[in-house]
Structure 1
Amino acid sequence: MAEIYMYADETGDLGVPGIPGVSRYFGFGMAVFRGDHGERIWQGLRLRCDLERRGVNLPKGLHAKNDSQSTRSEVFDLIGQQRPRLDATFLCKTNAHPSVRERQQWLYKLAWYSHFRQIVCQVSAPGDTLYVIAATLTTSRKIMNASEALKDVCRRFAADREIVLCVWDAQSAWGIQVADYSLWATQRFLEERPCKWFESHIKPQLCSLLTPWGTA
């Protein structure tokens, strides 16, 4: 029996596609570490502290969308060295059934279900313990609804595995920040936008890139 740590983050908004400023995709990404990975957590903390020492203010942790190019470069270098398993699932919102487009909770849950069901049996076996450490959303209502959606999907796969769901703030876990960075790079690749780190630092560890609703 093994212990697997699955760090998950989401990307994109839950808005109806076609409105200016609303994302084309909603997706989940995951960074998976097997067993004891304390040294890699320490490396992430050490990098964050060293960046602060050099004048980079990071009170809310690392976030690829907001970080500078130089900070991104250092974070991607560390992810490349650590080599976690990475997976991503993107739902193209313009191809969603109309009933899904109008119900944000359904979109969130479908994205999580599409992602989790593909990965759980690939990274674990019956009898294993999975710690699913997922990033919280930003508003109280979304946190409540998202937590229930996460729990419901996890329960569906818990018959022969112990699944422990932890819904944490992203800045509290290095693994969530790894998932965030991998999602950011993968989405840019999917949308054909430049990302100089995807081919060298993310793609070698990206075990799956799923687009079950096609692409935009």
Structure 2
Amino acid sequence: MAEIYMYADETGDLDMEGSQGASRYFGFGTAVFEGDHGHLLWEGLQLRCRLERRGVSLPQGLHAKNDSHATRGEVFDLIAKQAPRFDTTFLAKENAYERVRVAGQMRLYKLAWYLHFKEVVKRVSSPGDTIYVIAASLTTNKKEGTARNALTDVCQQMATDREIVLCVWNAATSWGVQVADYGLWAVQRVLEDRKCSWYETAVEPTLEVVP
């Protein structure tokens, strides 16, 4: 029986009304590490410290959308070396079913997580394994409790023959969550036909396509 560590992050907003500035997609991405990977987490901490030493302030950790081009390059270089398994699921919000729209934004959140997690958990683990799911907490306090409930419910549905331990943490505390964020950012860039020079070298080699 194995221990699997799945780090998860989301992208896009939950607006399904097509408001100005709203994202086209909402989705989840995960980075999976199997077994003891403490040395990889240490490498992530070392990189963050080296960046701080050179004057790059990272009080909230690394975040692909906000980091500089130079910082992204160093992060993606380390990700390519570590080679976690990436999986992503994107939902085109304009195609949302009417029942999802009526149910509201957190229904979309839960649906995206369900469609992603139910596929990935079967591909990365076997009956009897323990899967630690370390998910980034939502930055909107109003929705954080509801989001945690949605994550918990889906994990419990999948825990029939596996032990699933859900950890909802601030992304700044976890190198693995920051890796998931970077992988998700790169895939979204490609999905939206925008340039991402690191996709082919750091993400695509270990990216699995999820419906």
Query: Please, what TM-score do these two structures have when normalized by structure 1?
Result: 0.95
Runs of 5+ unmatched residues, structure 2: none
Cα displacement string for residues 76-121 of structure 1 (whole angstroms, at most 9, x for unaligned residues): 0000000000000000000111232351010000000000001001
What is residue 16 of structure 2 aligned with on the other side?
Answer: 16
What is residue 161 of structure 1 aligned with on the other side?
Answer: 162
What is residue 128 of structure 2 aligned with on the other side?
Answer: 127
Q: What amino acid is the match of 2:5?
A: Y
Q: When the two structures are aligned, how many residues end up with a matched partner? A: 210
Deviation at 1:205, TM superposition (A): 1.0
In 2, the alpha carbon distance for the partners of 1:17 and 1:171 equals 31
Which structure 1 residue ranges, 4+ long, deviate > 6 Å from structure 2? Answer: none
Contact 1:93–1:101 (Cα < 8 Å) also in 2: no
Q: What amino acid is the match of 1:169?
A: N
What is residue 29 of structure 2 aligned with on the other side?
Answer: 29
In 2, the alpha carbon distance for the partners of 1:14 and 1:189 equals 21
Say which SS state the counterpart of residue 6 (structure 1) adopts. strand
Q: What amino acid is the match of 1:90?
A: F
Say which SS state the counterpart of residue 27 (structure 1) adopts. strand
Cα displacement string for residues 55-89 of structure 1 (whole angstroms, at most 9, x for unaligned residues): 00000000000000000000000000000000000
What is residue 59 of structure 1 aligned with on the other side?
Answer: 59
Say which SS state the counterpart of residue 132 (structure 1) adopts. strand
Identity %: 64
Please tell me the root mean square deviation across aligned C-alpha atoms, in Å. Answer: 0.9
Deviation at 1:41, TM superposition (A): 0.1
In 2, the alpha carbon distance for the partners of 1:17 and 1:170 equals 28
Map 1:1-216 onto structure 2 (within 5 A). 1-102=1-102, 103-210=104-211
In 2, the alpha carbon distance for the partners of 1:209 and 1:184 equals 16
Query: Please, what TM-score do these two structures have when normalized by structure 2?
Result: 0.97
Contact 1:24–1:93 (Cα < 8 Å) also in 2: yes
Runs of 5+ unmatched residues, structure 1: 211-216
Say which SS state the counterpart of residue 61 (structure 2) adopts. coil
